[in-house]
Structure 1
Amino acid sequence: MTLQFQKLPAPVTVQGAERHIGVEVEFADLTEEQAAKVLVETLGGSAECTVDNDWLVRGSEIGDIQVYLDTVYRTAEKSVLRDVGLKLGREVIPVELVTDPLAFDQLPVLDRALNALRDAGAKGSGDGWYYGFGVHLNIEVEGHSPADVLRPLLAYALIEDWMRVALPIDPSRTVLPWTDPYPTALVEELILLGVEPSAKALVETYTRHCADRNRGLDMLPVMKALWPTELEEAIGADKVSEINGRPTYHFRLPDSRLDEESWSLADEWDRWLLVEQIASRPQIVEELADAWLDSHGMITLSRQPWAERCGDILADYGLARGAE
């Protein structure tokens, strides 16, 4: 099912260029070759096996698309152990498709291809308790200043507890460590940073609490792209070398529910759209921040009260949606 995609409040960068979005989608029950051939049938282009079982769709309607098994074994040195790991991993490790950076009007085209994968038998998170598959959106930042980057980060941090209740991800993903929520201490420190922090302060604040990638919103790629020196000082050169830097928000929270006919990539896009709708309205961010500080004491025993209060505030602005 393909739903209508809504544009971001700021669809272009501060330089006036259209913002692009890279998309990663995880799924099961199709091999890399099968998925690549479905993509070619739907979007055109040609498919080729590049190495082992990695496939590349070249020249489709939306550019090149990589298709591979999402595991570290695929890039490990070839050995018997590596081959066994790949074979056994297929039971629980997803196949992943990764697009080139897409223009906004290419998102519905990708959604059509995802429908074709579903029709061919691709399965998403809900088909198995151990699947826990996600959609990762890599949304180009509007601007490269710390203030530009902070606004959506803070908006997400303030509404994350509410979003996980009102727009819940599949239960299979909540028990896995890939999309852990932000610590409340991070949210407080982001609020107290002010609206125009230095790059050093922003990087140090974030990495003090989230030095790994396993968050609903992973900020390490954009920090490496924009402030590599500050990031190296914060987490070390070895860790930074493992990060693929790019000037995008790496939004990992969304679900992959390919096998559900009522599901669309637009459902997951709407999660991020809401973040930027809030970030674009300083009055809402300020009200949420003040309410967050008022709601949190020395120790946070439950996130539920803030999720409810956050929802009430968003409802006042006509922005609350999802489960009641």
Structure 2
Amino acid sequence: MEFIDLDAMTSAEIVKSLFGGDLDRVSQHKVHVRGCRFGDFLVELDLQLLHEGDPTNPLRQLAGELGAALIPMEITCPPIRFDEAHVIDALREELRQAGAQGTLTSPFYALGAQLNPELPSHESAYLLSVLRSFVLLRDWLRDEIQVDTSRRLSFFASAFPGDWCDMILDPRYAPDMAGLTRGYLDHNPTRNRELDMLPFLAFLDEKRIRSAVAGQKVHKRPTYHYRLPNALIDSPDWSLALEWERWLAVEQLAERPELIEKYAALWRENHARLIPHDWTPTSRELRGQL
């Protein structure tokens, strides 16, 4: 969850006030909150270069002061059970009341709220079904979320390439996990996707993924990395629960093979047009059948 206008220590103290734990200050711009009720939280400016080397180096401190005006603060949460996930909205509300600002505050920030749902199955057929569902519902999701212009222009959450979407929506495409991974990497050798699968694929085969995307920050874990939502942290009408409900539509569609088959055929037919129609109305129609 990304935001601006609160420093790392203030944000970490809010985390501690809600969930307990001990503060471990690495630098002015990076604080761990260890031993919390749910595990360890990390609060930091979202720029890796600020956290490398000697934290007392004056040049690094200057870079941090400049970065604080240009780079969002980020809170990374430990794994939290679904039936307790509401506590993150309690954290969001406390940050909001303390003055944290979100996506719509400035055109210069590309603030996002990234969800990392754990996969209930590691079978290739299930993962393929979810990826197909996401492709079919993606335009509805973007329309619902109203992805901020700064985030669209930053390419932090780019759409999947059309040729890859067409490939996975082909009903004849039924790879094993190695084949699915190979196809994904051939078309998506980057973490900057709306639904970044690199953390999960690295969880299955870390060596292969790190070789394919050398130099990119990939943390292996058995989860999706859903990067599409804005972080409207300062809006009282927005919540992570709302974004979670939107995501659940993808998982619900993954359990409806007859709908996937029907709309995949329509998507591929549209994609083959010289000038494809806007898919959003059809994507919304599909959402209405879940």
Q: Same fold (TM over 0.5)?
A: yes
Task: Please give the alpha-carbon distance, in whole angstroms, between the structure 2 residues aligned to 1:201 and 1:119.
Answer: 48
Cα displacement string for residues 45-102 of structure 1 (whole angstroms, at most 9, x for unaligned residues): 3323134532122333333211111102223224554333322111121111111111
2:3 — aligned with what? 27
Does structure 1 retain, via aligned residues, the 8 Å contact 2:181–2:201?
yes
1:14 — aligned with what? none
Does structure 2 retain, via aligned residues, the 8 Å contact 1:186–1:209?
yes
Offset of residue 275 of structure 1? 0.8
1:62 — aligned with what? 38
Q: Which amino acid is 2:254 matched to?
A: A
Does structure 1 retain, via aligned residues, the 8 Å contact 2:249–2:287?
no
2:157 — aligned with what? 179
2:235 — aligned with what? 260
Does structure 1 retain, via aligned residues, the 8 Å contact 2:137–2:287?
no
**2:193 aligned with 1:215, yes or no?**
yes
Match among 40, 53, 72 for residue 48 of structure 2: 72
Cα displacement string for residues 163-206 of structure 1 (whole angstroms, at most 9, x for unaligned residues): 21233222321221101111111110111274641223211221
Match among 310, 318, 323 for residue 283 of structure 2: 310
Runs of 4+ in 1 over 4 A off after TM superposition: none
**2:213 aligned with 1:246, yes or no?**
no
Matched position secondary structure for 2:11:
helix
Cα displacement string for residues 266-314 of structure 1 (whole angstroms, at most 9, x for unaligned residues): 1111221111011111112111211111212165x45x52222222233
TM-score, structure 1 normalization: 0.82
Task: Please give the alpha-carbon distance, in whole angstroms, between the structure 2 residues aligned to 1:282 and 1:70.
Answer: 39
- Residue correspondences, number: 288
Task: Please give the alpha-carbon distance, in whole angstroms, between the structure 1 residues aligned to 2:130 and 2:177.
Answer: 15
Does structure 2 retain, via aligned residues, the 8 Å contact 1:40–1:57?
yes
Q: Which amino acid is 1:221 matched to?
A: P
Q: Which amino acid is 2:67 matched to?
A: G
1:95 — aligned with what? 73
Q: Which amino acid is 2:249 matched to?
A: L
Change (3 A) 1:151 1:268: same
1:136 — aligned with what? 114
Cα displacement string for residues 132-182 of structure 1 (whole angstroms, at most 9, x for unaligned residues): 211111111111222222221221122212321233222321221101111
1:199 — aligned with what? 177
Residue identity (%): 32
- 154-163 or 191-200, larger mean C-alpha shift: 191-200
**2:26 aligned with 1:53, yes or no?**
no
Does structure 2 retain, via aligned residues, the 8 Å contact 1:73–1:85?
no
Matched position secondary structure for 1:292:
helix
Task: Please give the alpha-carbon distance, in whole angstroms, between the structure 2 residues aligned to 1:293 and 1:164.
Answer: 19
Change (3 A) 1:232 1:66: closer
Higher strand share: 1
Change (3 A) 1:65 1:230: closer
**2:270 aligned with 1:295, yes or no?**
yes
**2:128 aligned with 1:150, yes or no?**
yes
Matched position secondary structure for 2:260:
helix
Matched position secondary structure for 1:135:
coil
Change (3 A) 1:106 1:50: farther
